[in-house]
Chains A and B, each alone.
Chain A
Amino acid sequence: MLEHFRPDRLALREALRGLRHTVHTGGQMVFDRLSSTSTERTPDLPGRHLLCDVENTAARLEAIGSDTMRFLLCEHTPSSRSMQALYELGFEDRQFARVVYDNLRLFLQQLGIGHAIVSELAARQAHGRLPANLLDLPEHEAAALIAFSLVDAGVIREGPVGLKSLRSKEADLAIAALLFWLLSNRAPEEDDQARLAAADMALAVEDEIVAALRERDKAALSALFEELAPHV
Chain B
Amino acid sequence: MSERSNSRRIWPSTNEPLRRAVRRLHWFRTAFTSYTQEMEKRIGVECDVDEKKLAAIFIAWLRAVNAQKPSSAKARSAYFDFAASLMLRELIANMPLKARTTPQLVDENSAAAFWPEGYICTLFCLAVHDAVVKQEFNAPLPQRPPIDNIRSWWSFRENSREDSRFAAGFLQRLMGHEPNWAMPDIFTMPADDR
Which residues of A are at the interface with B, using a C-beta cutoff of 8 A? Answer: 187, 190, 193-194, 196-197, 200-201, 203-205, 228, 231-232
Instruction: Tell me if B59 counts as interface (CB < 8 A to partner A).
Output: yes
Selected from A187, A194, A204, the residue in CB contact (under 8 A) with B59 is A204
State which residues 15-33 of B face A: CB under 8 Å. 15, 23-26, 29-30
Cα distance, A196 to B26, chains bound together (Å): 8
B24 touches A197 (CB 8 A): yes
Query: CB-CB contacts of B53-74 with A at 8 A, as 1s and 0s?
Result: 0111011001000000000000
Residues of chain B with a CB closer than 8 A to A228's CB: 59, 62
Give the chain B neighbours of A232 by CB distance below 8 A: 24-26
**Pairwise interchain contact B52-A197, C-beta atoms closer than 8 A:** no
Partner of A204, one of B23, B30, B56: B56
User: What's the dominant secondary structure at chain A's contact region?
Assistant: helix
What residues on B are CB-neighbors of A203 within 8 Å? 52, 55
Closest chain A CB from B112 CB (angstroms): 28
B51 at the interface (CB under 8 A from A): yes
Residues of A within 8 A of B54 (CB): 200
Are the C-beta atoms of B25 and A231 separated by less than 8 Å? yes
Closest to B12 in A: A193
CA distance A203 to B26 in the complex (A): 14
Say whether A197 contacts B59, CB under 8 Å. no
Query: Do the beta carbons of A205 and B26 come within 8 Å of each other?
Result: no
Whether the Cβ atoms of A193 and B30 lie closer than 8 Å is yes
A-B CB contacts (within 8 Å), total count: 38
The answer to whether B55 touches A231, judged by C-beta atoms less than 8 angstroms apart, is no
| Minimum C-beta distance from B191 to chain A (A) | 32
Min CB distance, A176 to chain B, in Å? 13
Expressed in whole angstroms, the Cα–Cα distance for A193 and B62 within the complex equals 19
On chain B, the residues within 8 Å of A200 by CB distance are 25, 29, 51-52, 54-55
User: From residue A189, how far is it (CB to closest CB) to chain B in Å?
Assistant: 9
Q: How far is the CA of A232 from the CA of B55 in the complex (A)?
A: 10
| Bound complex: CA A203 to CA B58 (Å) | 12
Residues in B whose Cβ lies below 8 Å from that of A194: 26
Does A197 contact B29, Cβ atoms closer than 8 Å?
yes
- List 12 A-B residue pairs with CB atoms under 8 Å apart, sorted by A's residue number: A197-B25, A197-B55, A200-B29, A201-B25, A201-B55, A201-B59, A203-B52, A204-B52, A204-B55, A205-B59, A231-B23, A232-B25
Chain A residue at smallest Cβ distance from B29: A197
Convert B146-179 into 0s and 1s, putting 1 for each residue whose CB lies closer than 8 angstroms to a CB of A: 0000000000000000000000000000000000
Q: Is the CB of B26 within 8 A of A190?
A: yes
**CB nearest neighbor in A for B60:** A204
Q: Chain A residues with Cβ under 8 A from B29's Cβ?
A: 197, 200
Chain B residues, CB < 8 A from A201: 25, 55, 59
Least distance between B54 CB and chain A CB atoms (Å) = 8
A190-B26, A197-B24, A203-B52 given; name 17 further pairs at CB < 8 Å.
Answer: A187-B15, A196-B26, A197-B29, A197-B55, A200-B25, A200-B29, A200-B51, A200-B52, A204-B55, A204-B58, A204-B59, A228-B62, A231-B23, A231-B58, A232-B24, A232-B25, A232-B26
Min CB gap A178→B, angstroms:
16
- B143 to chain A minimum Cβ distance, whole angstroms, is 33
Q: Which residue of A lies closest to B24 (CB)?
A: A231
